[in-house]
Chain A
Amino acid sequence: MTNAISVSGLHKSFGRTRALDGLDLTVATGEVHGFLGPNGAGKSTTIRVLLGLLRADAGQVRLLDGDPWRDAVSLHRRLAYVPGDVTLWPTLSGGEVIDLLGRLRGGLDQKRRAELLERFDLDPTKRGRAYSKGNRQKVALVAALASDVELLILDEPTSGLDPLMEEVFRECIVDERRAGRTVLLSSHILAEVEALCDRVSIIRNGRTVESGSLAELRHLRRTALSAELAGDPDGLADLPGVHDLSIEGNRVRCEVDTAHLDAVLAVLGKAGVRGLTSQPPTLEELFLRHYDDAPRTAEQPASAGAVR
């Protein structure tokens, strides 16, 4: 399997602000890759380097076996991009923008264009200035999805779409994967990534903190347990991997690292279990833990971390 995108040790600074600080990203051909991170983590900057709009300060960047800066024009004919904040020309209609972008990419599938307009319920005759944010997003999405390309680079493509349209978008991405296209999907809508992506890269402060398939990232997860016991759970507090333990009478609540679940269940079993609920962790929690439990950066109040 070859890689559609491979980035290693990417650095990019704007003046004194360090936007990317040694970022790594590998997207295999044919996969849908989730690119997760909070606002300001460097997702859009990475994408703009991949598109040759920004020049990397240091690091290796390969896109579809080319150099995104040097080979920009030839590479761009093989990909479609949807920016996070779509702005349109005020006097051009949505249909005109879709056709223009498609033609500049080297062609548009007319049948697919019509079908997508239908699915997204988009009026192509409105002028650019008359569209809402969600509808501007739809214009860019239709233009990208109706193009015959190998790679889709989507920067938070569902921001501004209503839940119904998010669902349509998901169906479209499933279709794209089936058609063998590679998708890089930056997002902070976790349910979307969980539902769509084969693999995920999580970035924070311009660095990749985790990368792997959803299964591989499972070791990071915790399971939330709530048990009603017959006796005292002796030694539970001393076990490794137990967090946020609270004992009220014979009710026990805690979060357990998945790797240590065994030992915890043994202790509970010894005390006699009358009732037990466990909640599987969502990607949401995984995400929160990466960005909220990590040490605070200098500009944020130090107390926020200490209080926890």
Chain B
Amino acid sequence: MNGSLTGAGALARFGFRRDRIMLPLWLYLLAATVLGTAWSFQQLYRTPAQIAAFAAGITGNAAVISITGPAYDLTSLGSLVMWRVGTWAGAFTGLMSLLLVLRHTRAEEEAGRLELVGSTVVGRHAALTAGLVIAGAANVLIGAVNAVGLIAFGLPVVGSLALGLSMCLTGWVFAALAALAAQLTESAGAARGLAASVLGVAFLLRAAGDAGATGGLGWLSWISPLGWGPRLRPFADERWWVLAIPLLATLVLTVGAYALISRRDFGAGLLASRPGPAVAARSLASPLALAWRLHRGALIGWTTGFAVFGAVIGNLAPSIAGMLRSSPQTATIMARLGGQGGLTDLFLSAMFGLFGLVSSAYAVQATLRLRTEESGQRTEPLLATGVGRIRWAASHVVLALAGTAVLLLAAGLTAGLVEGAHDGTVGHTLGRVLTAALVQVPAAWVLAGVGVLLFGVLPRFAVASWAAVVIVVLLGELGSTLRLPQAVLDVSPFTHVPKLPGGAVTGTQMVGLVTVIIVAAVLTVVGLVGFRRRDIDTQ
């Protein structure tokens, strides 16, 4: 162990520098979610009577509670905030933490950069320690900002601190979990998959436990790291001893990670990777077949996620109307968000708007595979065979575009089937919901088009396509609340997507939709032509 931590401080400082854009974005996202909810609840429910009316919709609604987590004190605004976003904020803090830790440990090791660093004066445990320090500090910051923000809104100090602590400690647990996962697998992708699966299972356990609490399933929430935050009961007579559980889990997982790193070789994982086939399958004979191999894992993961959330939304839709109706203010707000019909339709169209925004993240991620392949020097050997540039680039673009459509199709399908199954109207519901999902596709394609354009014309700035996603998300989620001018809102392709289900698509909306498709096509074609004319750039 002697000197095994040497250099951890330098690595951590370097890591913070590398993350100087990503970390503030996460911090902003997580603070905006919690504090934004607190702010809007304060605006909506000013009197105890209003709070009580709102709360009446929650109690006993297992579907809602499975999504959001349990509500403990229905008279306290703070507790309602915790109920509404606390669990999700914890889950996202966990996601951030596991991504952060893996990015600074296994991803670096796999890329071979750590070997370079490791040969300098850096101890064996330095990188792991640096990753944990970065994630640990980021979580403290997130907890602190949220706690201070809630106190500033006038919520009780003790409860605010408890909510901040619940986020911070959930993040710690998943940071430590990722540190352990990083020792198990050889590839960062597999470690990410492993840690993210634990996060997913934790969410499902908590959802089942919370929904079935009255039926004796409550213990499930206790074995889920995402169940511990709510059980601290911020703003509802805090139970401080619950803090010991995440602290202990963090400690055990961290000790485990350090024990494992001392037992394995550099670059190796404890789970041996399975050998591959000695001969390629007959089908692996085209750029498209290769691209499918490279995209398939991510696409399956994303599709599963979309299908699951589609089912959740479909399950929630029939009961949401009753819940919203009990609070006239919420109904007004929902109407202002731009729906056209009944409350259920409003809810569904808002949800599919969200699916559309999230699918644009997949579209960009899949498109940017072009750039990672190029800068990873895996493109040149292919282009040095009988494969033309357009054929190679198109293979990834086709999968990015088709994949985006598959995601939305999956969400629409499960949402339609589950909602229809409630009242036996699948035939009627499925078509409506599927249409609502599929009208989002062209808008998400525009984001893929931005990615292709940058890749073809300014390859070193291709990663800036993510900025387009952020802009579109901000315009979509905050644009109407902030009452931005229409000209600004029109920048986002999602502004031109008809709000479905509910209402018929007007001629103007059809024109808008077709325009969006044309824009996506033009961006893609210009990008591909640009790529054919430029140098291959492996920098």
Contacts and interface: CB of A to CB of B under 8 A. Distances in A.
Contacts of A48: 380, 536
Contacts, number: 118
B388 A125 contact: no
Contacts of A88: 378
A73 B290 contact: no
Interface stretch (B13-21, B28-36, B270-278, B417-425): B270-278
A95 B277 contact: yes
Nearest to A50: B384
A48 B377 CA distance: 12
Given A83-B377, A96-B277, A104 B382 contact: yes
B187 A55 contact: no
Interface stretch (B199-207, B279-287, B477-485, B512-520): B279-287
B529 interface: no
A219 to B, nearest CB: 37
B378 A99 contact: no
Contacts of A97: 280
Contacts of B381: 81, 83, 86, 101, 140
Nearest to B110: A129
21 contacts: A53-B383, A53-B384, A53-B536, A86-B381, A88-B378, A90-B187, A92-B276, A95-B277, A96-B276, A99-B279, A100-B285, A101-B385, A104-B387, A106-B386, A124-B278, A124-B279, A125-B276, A125-B277, A125-B278, A127-B276, A129-B110
Interface string B502-539: 00000000000000000000000000000001111000
Contact of A89 (B281, B287, B294, B380): B294
A54 interface: yes
B371 to A, nearest CB: 15
A78 to B, nearest CB: 9
A87 interface: yes
Interface in B185-240: 186-187, 189
Contacts of A53: 380, 383-384, 535-536
Contacts of B189: 90
A99 B384 contact: no
A173 to B, nearest CB: 19
A124 B277 CA distance: 8
B3 interface: no
B263 interface: no
B293 interface: yes
A126 B386 CA distance: 26
Contacts of B297: 91
B282 to A, nearest CB: 9
A51 B378 contact: no
Given A99-B284, A101-B381, A54 B386 contact: no
Interface in A110-159: 124-127, 129-130, 140, 153
Interface of A: 48, 51-55, 72-74, 76-77, 79-81, 83, 85-101, 103-106, 124-127, 129-130, 140, 153
B48 interface: no
Contacts of A72: 383, 388-389
A102 to B, nearest CB: 9
A55 B389 CA distance: 13
A130 B186 contact: yes
A98 B277 CA distance: 12
Interface string B114-137: 000000000000000000000000
B536 to A, nearest CB: 4
A95 B297 CA distance: 20
B119 to A, nearest CB: 15
Interface in B366-392: 376-378, 380-389
Contacts of B534: 55
A91 B536 CA distance: 24
Contacts of B273: 127, 129-130
Contact of B285 (A79, A80, A86, A104): A104
B386 A96 contact: no
Nearest to A143: B381
Contacts of B280: 95-100, 103
Contacts of B382: 101, 104
Specify the main secondary structure of chain A where it touches its partner: mixed
A105 B381 CA distance: 11
A51 B384 CA distance: 6
Nearest to B382: A104
Contact of B376 (A51, A87, A103, A104): A87
A99 B378 CA distance: 15
Contact of B378 (A74, A87, A96, A104): A87
Contact of B386 (A76, A125, A127): A76
Contacts of A86: 381
Nearest to B276: A93
B286 to A, nearest CB: 8
Given A53-B384, A76-B386, 7 more contacts: A89-B293, A95-B278, A96-B281, A100-B280, A104-B382, A127-B276, A129-B187
A19 to B, nearest CB: 11
B35 to A, nearest CB: 40
Contacts of B290: 89, 100
A85 B385 contact: no
A89 B275 CA distance: 14
Interface in B89-146: 110
B223 to A, nearest CB: 33
Nearest to B285: A103
A105 B286 CA distance: 10
Nearest to B296: A91
- For the complex of A and B, 7 pairs with smallest distance between CB atoms: A93-B276, A99-B280, A104-B385, A125-B275, A81-B384, A96-B280, A77-B386
Contacts of A77: 385-386
A96 B284 contact: yes
A89 to B, nearest CB: 6
A94 B280 CA distance: 9
B269 to A, nearest CB: 10
A86 B376 CA distance: 10
A67 to B, nearest CB: 14
Nearest to B376: A87
A23 B315 CA distance: 69
Nearest to A54: B535
A92 B293 contact: yes
A92 B297 CA distance: 13
A73 B535 contact: no
B270 to A, nearest CB: 15
B446 to A, nearest CB: 29
A105 to B, nearest CB: 5
A150 to B, nearest CB: 13
A90 B378 CA distance: 11
Contacts of B278: 93, 95, 124-125
A264 B280 CA distance: 65
A145 B290 CA distance: 22
Given A53-B383, A100-B284, A87 B276 contact: no
B383 A51 contact: yes
A88 B275 CA distance: 15
B388 to A, nearest CB: 5
Contacts of B386: 73-74, 76-77, 104-106
